[in-house]
Structure formats: structure tokens, C-alpha cells
């Protein structure tokens, strides 16, 4: 091979997807290509005509415009155009014009179709189904590695012994003896269940026995059912260990029954998961929960960036990382509430501290600020004047907790959406009135607040919050005026076309240097998922869960939901990766990346994600009869 052909081979090997071709194909391909030079302004391929070749741009730039003259793409060095016409052996749907003096390598349509038929990965890149390419990219991010046990292990792998269970009619005294004999700290309580075996009716722990028998003086000869927690939350044995970890952290459990087909098959404890891998997120949460002052809490939470770096290195999914970062944030919040109550004294009335926004959705990142509020019980006498002492106590609680969160790395909300703001420290009835006003009068403020408050999740006091949210979701279901306003917001962001020479390219052909992964990718998917969930009155707040639930109810097609989940996973993964790199350099986390730092594969995958978002926006605009998304 002469020097010129060797140069062409090396050029192809350096650009995706030609780098996917095997070495022998790359060796022979250059001799079959011809070169052609195009002066600036030359129409290389007009719309409506068949193409004589697939053009691989070696230098210069080519604009690809649609039938209306709108910029659809801009091809730079290493890019290919004329692909669809060559593959389909039909007329081009676009016009290709040299933006600069350009040199292209020409491949015959016949040779191009041969490569497509011979090499699956190469063909998949040129497949018009961008969602399939995106899914392949997402899967490539999740290569299993040793040391990733806590994220990949299922509970079936952990639960090795049969559950220690007792009949609900056994006395408490005998149950305690059985617990001692088996050296367990909890028992599953069952009732006869017919042919399928005994059914789970409750769980009793040694803590229950101490509190109720020793502390409150209940008779030890009574049935164990008198002190058990009835109908406990359970988990499937095929669930990942990380799901059990998060469930126990979020609800403050130490024991979780494992149930298959209605029958108890074991028990998983917080200690079981802790033993999986000491250098895992559970250890951080345990350290946070044990903190007795703010200084130690700051140190414990300071380990989180290192955990995120390790999770990224181990190719954990963005969803897993987001849930773990959120679980740490939840644990910090609970510890701050405990420390504040120790200083202020017991709360004058029960309360719920709620997370909003990304924390509410279980999607916190290292750059996230805090969004929170307080839900208080309705007063016994609504006509009575509010007790100023009660409000003073909760104002002091909010000040301590939000300041503590800021000290631990969660910046104060610039929009003042925090429990320190009296507007977000309301009784349940007052909250319902606020939500009702937003739903019935969806002005710009209501739409702005929907981005945060409709993602409410209780950190403490779920019994106060769940009835409120149930009523809210009933109010949003099929409320076309409110949903149309949210949909308009969801389609207002115009996805970029892609990337060109390190810039983010918009439809006017203008480029910007930075890409905000949160505002420019994550946010529109979150908004689209929220609209579909609220339209169906669904309780889910997590973005992926909202899309799955909406697909199950028919509000969105399964394929559309899968595509959006894939796009969300990819963009979120790049965001966590960016945060990890910033943490390693000791820089504060943000969401803006330099497009020039992205690999060619990541750039192509992001373009596919943008295309999926645009299609989902167009679908949403049609559903709610909005203006066409440009």
C-alpha cells in the first residue's frame, strides 16, 4: 500500500463508524475510493436526485438542508453524507451544499451496501432508528466489572437460609425464646395459607419486644400477632441488592422480608448488605446516620464524590448512581432533622419534611441544590388563630436543616424553594389549596412551580403526605388546560442539531461552546415524563418510573417510553461522568460540558438522544394541540 492509501486508511480508522470495520476491510477500502474537491457554495447533491456515491468528508464542511431550506445537519471532517439515498437506492431527501472548500472521498453505493450487509455494527450506525443506536450505546456503558457486587448482586444470592418464622398465635414469650435459639433479631409471622404454604402476616423484631413488652408492659403470654408489624413491606428475591439497600435507607428499616409468589423465602438485613462490600454507599449512609454533630456529618458526606467516581468507573447505570446519591442526601437530611430536634426539643406536632425537584425524583447529582418544604397537620380547630410558638419551632428547624444541608454540599435554592420560606411551610389543607390553585389557574408561576413541587416525596412523615398527593393526582388526571400548559413548557426547549468542531450547533447554524446536560437534555425528558404521569393521575415521581407507568396505562407508547428512558440514561451518565472528573480535579460540580471533550461515539449518541426528545416533543404538541415544534 502506497503512502497516500495508507494515509486514507489511517484517516478512516480514526473516525466512527469506519473504525468498526475489520483490519482487512480497512486495508482494501482506500483503493476503491476516489477523491473530489468542492468549492465553497457548490451544491454537491440536490434534493430529489439519486446519489452517485456516499461522500466521506476528509476536510471542509457541508450543510445538509431539508425541503424547506432548514438546516438539518452539518457534516464535518470524518462525517458521511448521501447515506440514505445510497442505502435505499432512491432520491435524496436533503440538499448537500459545501459550506467551505471541501475534499471528499467517494464510495460507490454498491460498495456501501455491501459493507452494510457484511458488518452489523457498521450498519447499525447508519440505521435510521436512532433509538436502537442509542440503546446500544447505553448498553456499552454498562460493562460488568469485578467489585461491583452491591449493584449487581440479587437478594437470592444473599439470602442463604430459610426464614425463621412463627405462627401468629404463638406466644410472645415462646417467640422470644425461638429468636434467642436461632440467634436472629427478627421473626417472620405467618398464617396458614392453604396449598401454597404459609402466608406472611407480619414481622416482629427484638426492638418491638423491648418497646412493647418491657417498655409498655404488654403481656408476654399474649400472641405474637399483638406486637407484630402487620402486612410489612416486602421485596422479591430477584430484586437487586441495591434496591433493598435503598428501600431500607429511605424507610429506616433494618429488616426486609423476601417474598416469592406470596410465600416468605427469607429475610435480608442491613447487615447482610453491609457485609457485601464495606467500601460501598451503604457504609457512607451508615456513617451519616451515626453522626452526632455537623462537623462529623460534613466529613461523612464528603466521601460521596469518591463513591460517585467509583460507581462511574464500575459502569453503574445513571439510574443507580442517581438513587444512591439521593439516598445519601436523604440520610443527611434525616440526620440534620435528628440533630435539630435534639437541640430544639420534641416537635410540637407531627410533621413531614419533603424533598422536591431532583431529590424528590430520586435523581440527585453532585451539582444539585436543595429544594424542600414542610407539611404540617391540620389544626384541630381551623377557625382558631395559628399558634406562633408552633411556627417559631418549625422556622427554627428549617433554618438549622437548610443551613446544615448547605454546609454538607447542597447549596441553598436560588429560587428560595426551601422550608425556611413561610410560603412552603403549610398545613396539609393549605398545601391542597395551593396545588388546587396551580391546577385550576395554570399561569406562568404555576408552570414554574410544577417543575419542582409536583415531584414531592416525603423524607419523614409519609402518612401526612400520601393523602395530599393522592388528592393532587386525582386533580391533574385529564385536566386538559393544566396539562396543556405543562406540555407547552416541555416542548419549549429546542434540541440542538448536534456538534461541529467543538461547538453545539443549533438549527440556525450557530454554535455555542458549552452544553448544559441538565437544561439541554435531562430537563425536557423530565418534563415530558411528568406530563404523561400527571395526565394519568399516576403517583410515580421518578422519571423512568413515570415513563414505565405511563406506558402501562397507554398514555405513551412502550417504544416511546423505552426511547426516552434510553436517552435519559445516556445524558445522565455523561453528567455523572462529568461530575466524577470534576471531583477528581477538585473542582465544584456543574452541568456544562465542553462538546470538544466528547468522543465521536458520545457525540453521535447525544444526537440520537436529541432526535428522540424532539420526536417526543412533537408527539406531545400534537396531543395537546400546541404549535408545531420547530
- pLDDT for 453-491, tens place per residue? 999 999 999 999 999 999 999 999 989 999 999 999 999
pLDDT given at position 502: 57
| Structure confidence by residue, pLDDT tens digits, 108-130 | 999 999 999 999 888 888 865 45
Radius of gyration for the chain, computed over Cα atoms and rounded to the nearest angstrom: 29
* Beta-bridge partner residues of 202: 189, 230
Which among 297, 376, 293 is positioned nearest to 329, based on CA atoms?
Answer: 297
Containing 59, the helix (H) or strand (E) segment is strand 54-59
Residue 330 is predicted with a pLDDT of 92
**For residue 430, what is the enclosing H or E element?**
helix 428-440
What mean pLDDT is predicted for residues 318-344?
Answer: 92
Handedness of CA 374, 379, 383, 386 (dihedral sign): negative
What's the whole-model pTM score? 0.68
Among 59-68, 275-284, 559-568, name the most confident range: 559-568
> For position 363, what pLDDT does the model report?
94
Contact between 22 and 122 under an 8 Å Cβ cutoff? The reply is: no
Predicted confidence (pLDDT) at residue 516 exceeds the cutoff of 90: no
pLDDT of residue 147: 40
Among 16-20, 272-276, 421-425, the minimum mean pLDDT is found in 272-276
Whole-number pLDDT of residue 320: 85
Residue 281's pLDDT is what? Answer: 66
Residue 505: what pLDDT? 58
The strand pair at 34-38 and 43-45 is best described as: unpaired
pLDDT at 394: 97
Q: Taking the domains of the chain in order of start, what are their residue ranges?
A: 3-128, 154-269, 323-623
Dist. CA 241–CA 276, nearest whole Å: 9
Q: Using one digit for the tens of pLDDT, what is the confidence trace for 137-171?
A: 555 554 444 344 455 678 887 776 788 889 988 98
Question: Which three cell numbers, joined as nine digits, stand for 316?
Answer: 453503574
Sign of CA dihedral 540, 544, 550, 552: negative
Confidence category of residue 278, pLDDT binned at 50, 70, 90 = very low
CB of 439 closer than 8 Å to CB of 479? yes
Separation of CA 411 from chain center: 20
At the topology level of CATH, where does 3-128 sit? Jelly Rolls (2.60.120)
pLDDT band at 274 (very low <50, low <70, confident <90, very high): low
| Residues near 516 by beta carbon (within 8 Å), at least 6 away in sequence | 591, 592
SS3 491: coil
Higher pLDDT, 67 or 355: 355
pLDDT at position 408, please? Answer: 96
Q: Is the confidence at residue 195, as pLDDT, over 70?
A: no
| Pairing of β 511-512 and β 592-593 | unpaired
CB 61 within 8 A of CB 23: no
Exposed, middle or buried by CB within 10 Å (0-12, 13-18, 19+), for 111?
middle
> Above 70 in pLDDT, residue 66?
yes
Q: Has residue 215 got a pLDDT over 50?
A: yes
Tally of helices (H runs) and strands (E runs) in the chain: 26, 23
Question: 621, 487 in Cβ contact below 8 A?
Answer: yes
Residue 283 has pLDDT above 60, yes or no: yes
Q: What is the pLDDT of residue 387?
A: 84
How far is the C-alpha of 452 from the C-alpha of 448, rounded, in Å? 8
| pLDDT score for 628 | 40
Distance CA 211, CA 464 (A): 24
Contact 187, 203 (CB under 8 A): yes
Per CATH, the homologous superfamily of domain 154-269 is: CBS-domain (3.10.580.10)
pLDDT band at 58 (very low <50, low <70, confident <90, very high): very high
The contacts of residue 416 (CB under 8 Å, 6+ apart) are: none
What's the chain's average pLDDT? 86
Q: Which of 42-56, 239-253, 609-623 has the lowest mean pLDDT?
A: 239-253
- Residue 12 contacts residue 78 (beta carbons within 8 Å): no
pLDDT at residue 595 is higher than 90: no
Strands 425-427, 372-376: pairing is parallel
Among the ranges 191-200, 280-289, 332-341, 512-521, which has the highest mean pLDDT value? 332-341
Written as nine digits, the cell of 205 is: 423484631
pLDDT of residue 501: 60
| Per-residue model confidence (pLDDT) at position 464 | 94
pLDDT digits (tens, 9 = 90+) for 82-111: 998 898 888 998 899 999 899 999 999 999
Do 220 and 208 contact (CB within 8 A), yes or no?
A: no
pLDDT computed for residue 197 by the predictor: 67
**pLDDT at residue 279 in the model:** 44
Over 50: is that where the pLDDT of 380 sits? yes
Amino acid at each position: 500500500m502506497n503512502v497516500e492509501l495508507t494515509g486514507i486508511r489511517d484517516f478512516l480508522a480514526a473516525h466512527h463508524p469506519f473504525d468498526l470495520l475489520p483490519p482487512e476491510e480497512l486495508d482494501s477500502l482506500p483503493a476503491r475510493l476516489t477523491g473530489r474537491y468542492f468549492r465553497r457554495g457548490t451544491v454537491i447533491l440536490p434534493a430529489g436526485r439519486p446519489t452517485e456515491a456516499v461522500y466521506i468528508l476528509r476536510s471542509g464542511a457541508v450543510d445538509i438542508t431539508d425541503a424547506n431550506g432548514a438546516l438539518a445537519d452539518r457534516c464535518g471532517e470524518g462525517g458521511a453524507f448521501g447515506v440514505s439515498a445510497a442505502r435505499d437506492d432512491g432520491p435524496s431527501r436533503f440538499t448537500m451544499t459545501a459550506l467551505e472548500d471541501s475534499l471528499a472521498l467517494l464510495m460507490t453505493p454498491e460498495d456501501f451496501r455491501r459493507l452494510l450487509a457484511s458488518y452489523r455494527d457498521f450498519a447499525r450506525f447508519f440505521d435510521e432508528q436512532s433509538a436502537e443506536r442509542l440503546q446500544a450505546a447505553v448498553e456499552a456503558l454498562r460493562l460488568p466489572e469485578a467489585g461491583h457486587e452491591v449493584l449487581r448482586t440479587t437478594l437470592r444470592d444473599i439470602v442463604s437460609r430459610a426464614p425463621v418464622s412463627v405462627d401468629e398465635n404463638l406466644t410472645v414469650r415462646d417467640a422470644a425464646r425461638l429468636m434467642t435459639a436461632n440467634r436472629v433479631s427478627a421473626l417472620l409471622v405467618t398464617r396458614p395459607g392453604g396449598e401454597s404454604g404459609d402466608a406472611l402476616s407480619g414481622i416482629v423484631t427484638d426492638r418491638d419486644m423491648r418497646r412493647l413488652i418491657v417498655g409498655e408492659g404488654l403481656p408476654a403470654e399474649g400472641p405474637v400477632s399483638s406486637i407484630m408489624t402487620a402486612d410489612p413491606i416486602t421485596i422479591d428475591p430477584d430484586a437487586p441488592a441495591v434496591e433493598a439497600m435503598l428501600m431500607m435507607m429511605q424507610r429506616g428499616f433494618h429488616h426486609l422480608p423476601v417474598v416469592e409468589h406470596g410465600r416468605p423465602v427469607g429475610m435480608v438485613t442491613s447487615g447482610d448488605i453491609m457485609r457485601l462490600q464495606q467500601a460501598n454507599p451503604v457504609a457512607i449512609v451508615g456513617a451519616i446516620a451515626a453522626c452526632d454533630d455537623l462537623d462529623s456529618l460534613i466529613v461523612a458526606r464528603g466521601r460521596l464524590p469518591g463513591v460517585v467516581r467509583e460507581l462511574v468507573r464500575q459502569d453503574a447505570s445513571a439510574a443507580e448512581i442517581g438513587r444512591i446519591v439521593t439516598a445519601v442526601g436523604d440520610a443527611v437530611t434525616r440526620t440534620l432533622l435528628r440533630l435539630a430536634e435534639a437541640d430544639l426539643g420534641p416537635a410540637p406536632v407531627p410533621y413531614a419534611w419533603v424533598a422536591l425537584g431532583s431529590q424528590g425524583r430520586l435523581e440527585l447529582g453532585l451539582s444539585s441544590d436543595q429544594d424542600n418544604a414542610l407539611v404540617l397537620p391540620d389544626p384541630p380547630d381551623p377557625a382558631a388563630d395559628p399558634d406562633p410558638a408552633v411556627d417559631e419551632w418549625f422556622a427554627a428547624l428549617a433554618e438549622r436543616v437548610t443551613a446544615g444541608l448547605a454546609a454538607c454540599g447542597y447549596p441553598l435554592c436560588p429560587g428560595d424553594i426551601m422550608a425556611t420560606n413561610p410560603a412552603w411551610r403549610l398545613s396539609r389543607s393549605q398545601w391542597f389549596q395551593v396545588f388546587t390553585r396551580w391546577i385550576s389557574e395554570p399561569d406562568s408561576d404555576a408552570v414554574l412551580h410544577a417543575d419542582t413541587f409536583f415531584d414531592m416525596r416525603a423524607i419523614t412523615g409519609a402518612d401526612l403526605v400520601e393523602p395530599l398527593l393522592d388528592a393532587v393526582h386525582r386533580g391533574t388526571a385529564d385536566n386538559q388546560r393544566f396539562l396543556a400548559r405543562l406540555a407547552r413548557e416541555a416542548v419549549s426547549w429546542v434540541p440542538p442539531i448536534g456538534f461541529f468542531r467543538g461547538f453545539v450547533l443549533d438549527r440556525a447554524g450557530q454554535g455555542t461552546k458549552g452544553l448544559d446536560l441538565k437544561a439541554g437534555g435531562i430537563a425536557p425528558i423530565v418534563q415530558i415524563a411528568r406530563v404523561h404521569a400527571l395526565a394519568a393521575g399516576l403517583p410515580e415521581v421518578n422519571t423512568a418510573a413515570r415513563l414505565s407507568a405511563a406506558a402501562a396505562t397507554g398514555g405513551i407508547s412502550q417504544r416511546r417510553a423505552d426511547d426516552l428512558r434510553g436517552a435519559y440514561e445516556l445524558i445522565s451518565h455523561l453528567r455523572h461522568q462529568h461530575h466524577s472528573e470534576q471531583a477528581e480535579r477538585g473542582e465544584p460540580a456543574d452541568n456544562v460540558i465542553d462538546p470538544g471533550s466528547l468522543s465521536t461515539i458520545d457525540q453521535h449518541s447525544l444526537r440520537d438522544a436529541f432526535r428522540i426528545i424532539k420526536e417526543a416533543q412533537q408527539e406531545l404538541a400534537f396531543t395537546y394541540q400546541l404549535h408545531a415544534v420547530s
